Amino acid sequence: MNDDDIPANAFRLDLEAKARRLAGDALAEGIPPPPYHVHGVDMLYYRCAIDPQAARDLLPPGLEPDNPPTATFVLYTAPKGSIIAPYSAGLAAISVANVETHDGDVASYVVHDFRSGLAWRAFNSLYLTTSHEGWGRLDWSGDTVRGEAGDSNGPAVRLQGTRTGNIGEITNLLSVYMAPMPGGGTSIFSVLGRGRYHDLADATVDILRGAPDVLQRLRPQAMVGPLLLEDVAFSFSLPRRFDPAVTGLDRDRSSVELLDLFSSMRRPALILGHDGHLLQINHEAERLSGVAFGERWLSAGLLLAGIAEDVLTRKQPAARVAVPRRGGLTPLLGQMLPLGTNLTSTPAVLLLFTDPERADRGDASPALRLLGLTPAEARIAALVGGGQAPRRAAAALGITEGTARTTLKLAFDKLGLSRQAELVQLVERLAG
């Protein structure tokens, strides 16, 4: 492909050159907005019985500890992910009564948090005032793992345990956390996790000399459930102010599940905010870029060209972008589409790249869900857009043809399409 083959409404970006030139500027402008996604996480997760009076004293008015009261000690390293990574963290949280999750568990109120790097700035400013600049680390010796968390004064808490032969998988586990919110009140946010875990034996929690008073008061009385989580992916929802009458957990789950879908896509993809911020980048795009995408330059350039604005205002249903590559490789082609509003708190677009050098094609369903379709709508749209007649697609999904056509009409309305040929074209681009 040469310059004459690039669509007229596309403009070219020299990714590495612009990243080198502007890398130092963007983060100084402010903290990147959530939601956040991290992966490759190793974590120690210990739940312990604690003193009931200490639990009551450490919770704010209006919140009561679960019965029996427990505290969760979490220590982890997050080497990869969205623009707050890499970082490490350690936190302590108290289980809260009457604030349940979708999984039948209870919420946890974070009373102390150590966090490093940009993640500390982000969480301290947006999620919880109990976050302090610090660090966490994990060390292995055979099957024994030891972790410590602390700050510039030294380690404050130490967790240790030995891996057993019991290994399991975590899929779509939604945890709910609460904390003192910057600006007052109580924040509430959700974390969706997937990965594998090991049960631990001989687990211990040591609160070390010099640890903050809040940790000294949470000395464990008994171990309830120690786990080692390995190579886990976590998605953090947007924080919001807690209202007992409106939990908002359905929206939280929808948001982090869609973010998790995006992060697990095999296609290189970016999520760009309406104000020029790069909100998310998935693993494939990270590997493709060869540079850190934690800057404002890409989305700012797109907005200056007017492409993203046109997509968000529906002046055009989609737009194309071409990105040249070295070594004589065919330029990458990007498709920009408006995102479903249940993923981000502000208008945003999905920029999904196709590599013309790659022969295999992927499943369009995850990208269709990111565009606002339900799982059922995405499945039928992917099949029909892939060339199947509605009757055949209905049979493949085990539904009636009438249900398939009704669901397909809903998908057309959400995607702003009017003809099946438009759906075919969209699915071809989404599938790569």
C-alpha 365/C-alpha 77 separation (Å) is: 31
Same domain, 411 and 354: no
Same domain, 74 and 88: yes
CA 245 to chain centre: 26
Same domain, 409 and 432: yes
Same domain, 208 and 277: no
The CA–CA distances, whole Å, from 307 to 9, 153, 287, 335, 382 equal 8, 50, 25, 11, 26
Is the pLDDT reported for residue 408 higher than 70?
Answer: yes
Same domain, 207 and 118: yes
Q: Over pLDDT 70: what percentage of the chain?
A: 69
15 occurs within a structural domain: yes
Strand-pair category, 348-354 with 269-273: antiparallel
Band the pLDDT of 149: cuts 50, 70, 90: very high
Domain CATH number, residue 228: 2.40.400.10
DSSP run (H or E) holding 25: none
241 occurs within a structural domain: no
Strands (E), 208-254: 222-236, 240-241
Same domain, 41 and 20: no
Cβ(352)–Cβ(271) under 8 Å?
no
C-alpha 34/C-alpha 125 separation (Å) is: 11
Domain CATH number, residue 275: 3.30.450.20
The pLDDT value given to residue 21: 35
Is the pLDDT reported for residue 38 higher than 70?
Answer: yes
DSSP run (H or E) holding 73: strand 70-78
Q: What angle is formed at CA 67 by the lines to CA 63 and CA 72, rounded to 5 degrees?
A: 75
Cβ(353)–Cβ(323) under 8 Å?
yes
The CA–CA distances, whole Å, from 263 to 82, 225, 266 equal 9, 29, 9
Is the pLDDT reported for residue 423 higher than 50?
Answer: yes
- In terms of pLDDT, which residue wins out, 74 or 176? 74
Same domain, 251 and 340: yes
Same domain, 184 and 258: no
Task: Using the 3D structure, point to which of 236, 269, 284 is the last residue of a domain.
Answer: 236
Is the pLDDT reported for residue 46 higher than 50?
Answer: yes
Strand pairing partners for 48? 71, 223
Task: Using the 3D structure, point to which of 332, 358, 384 is the last residue of a domain.
Answer: 358
The pLDDT value given to residue 276: 55
How confident is the model over 218-239, as pLDDT tens digits?
999 999 989 999 999 888 887 8
Cβ(322)–Cβ(10) under 8 Å?
yes
Task: Using the 3D structure, point to which of 300, 330, 358 is the last residue of a domain.
Answer: 358
The mean pLDDT of 227-256, rounded to a whole number, is 76
Cβ(288)–Cβ(271) under 8 Å?
no
The pLDDT value given to residue 31: 74
DSSP run (H or E) holding 190: strand 186-207
The pLDDT value given to residue 6: 35
Same domain, 399 and 425: yes
The pLDDT value given to residue 263: 60
Is the pLDDT reported for residue 7 higher than 70?
Answer: no
Lowest mean pLDDT among 103-117, 146-160, 194-208, 401-415: 103-117
In 3-state terms the chain splits into helix, strand, coil percentages (rounded to 5) of: 30, 40, 35
The pLDDT value given to residue 301: 44
- In terms of pLDDT, which residue wins out, 132 or 349? 132
242 occurs within a structural domain: no
Band the pLDDT of 29: cuts 50, 70, 90: very low
185 occurs within a structural domain: yes
C-alpha 377/C-alpha 368 separation (Å) is: 8
Lowest mean pLDDT among 76-90, 199-213, 316-330: 316-330
Same domain, 334 and 392: no
The mean pLDDT of 237-259, rounded to a whole number, is 67
C-alpha 368/C-alpha 378 separation (Å) is: 5
How many distinct structural domains can be found in the chain? 3
Same domain, 30 and 40: no
Is the pLDDT reported for residue 188 higher than 80?
Answer: yes
Residues of the domain holding 404: 363-432
- Identify which of 24-28, 83-87, 323-327, 410-414 has the greatest average pLDDT: 410-414
How confident is the model over 365-400, as pLDDT tens digits?
877 887 788 889 999 999 999 889 999 999 989 999
332 occurs within a structural domain: yes
Maximum Cα–Cα distance across the chain: 73
C-alpha 432/C-alpha 414 separation (Å) is: 21
Domain CATH number, residue 406: 1.10.10.10
The pLDDT value given to residue 27: 37
pTM reported for the whole predicted model: 0.68
Same domain, 119 and 151: yes
